[in-house]
Amino acid sequence: MQRATRSFASALYAAMAAVSFGAGSASTSAHAAGTEKPFEWPASFVVLGDGYPHSGDACRRLGESAATANYLDHMAMLVGCPGSRDSAAVHAILGHQRQARVVGEADGVTLISISTEGAQTGSQNGAAPVKESPLSASGTLPCERGNGQTKTMCKFGVVHHSDRSTTVVVYWPDGTTRAIFFGVNGRVMGTAASANDRPMPGDTLTRKHAGINLISVGNERYEIEDTVLSGG
């Protein structure tokens, strides 16, 4: 009887140890998955926005830099996705946008060119027209908020339209954007939260000094050189 009792106790102890080990392994795996580090974009890229095609997505629109110079096209936008061309993010873009194609890989990022040439004919096939426009140029410019409380350098992208007007989209470090619309004469026609919104005059003041457009939108300040607008 005592031997049976000891055998039962040993079996129970072994079962409890196995359950404890399994739970510990699962906890360790869950912890490892939860602490996965977000992708850090290499300094070789000019990253625009906080996600593509939607805010928070892994991919980003890319501006002009040494790493992307050979892949830029005035009739297409360039998008970068972390990882190889076999990643889920790359497949999602290729699967949903017929104009998208992989053009290369650099510094751990897969580069995708998305043609905007067929944006005007999309409605003929029953699809909504694509609102995205190709960037003609990109860089950084001085920007500030809160009456000088926040001064920094913001990334920007420029779109030159067929009617010779220009849109400058400024990307704040916190992910928000400001679109500034210029007419043919180089004057500010209005601003909006994004390039797809209707420009509104709003609380906008502009003046020019030494070839630099000093633009105030509420408590925001921007300095945009004439060469950015002319493409020079």
- Where do the structural domains in the chain lie, given as residue ranges? 47-116, 137-230
- The pLDDT of residue 183 is 86
> In which band, very low, low, confident or very high, does the pLDDT at 119 lie, cut at 50, 70 and 90?
very low
Distance CA 42, CA 56 (A): 18
Helix (H) or strand (E) holding 25: helix 2-34
CA distances from 153 to 40, 139, 143, 161 (A): 19, 10, 6, 25
- The pLDDT of residue 163 is 77
Higher pLDDT: 184 or 90? It is 90
Torsion from C-alpha of 164, 165, 170, 176, nearest 10 degrees: -130
- The pLDDT of residue 11 is 53
Going across the sheet that includes 100-106, the strands are 47-52, 59-62, 76-82, 109-115, 100-106
pLDDT for residue 111 is more than 70: yes
Q: Record the pTM.
A: 0.49
Distance CA 80, CA 103 (A): 10
- The pLDDT of residue 102 is 92
Kindly state the average pLDDT of the residues 131-154.
Answer: 78
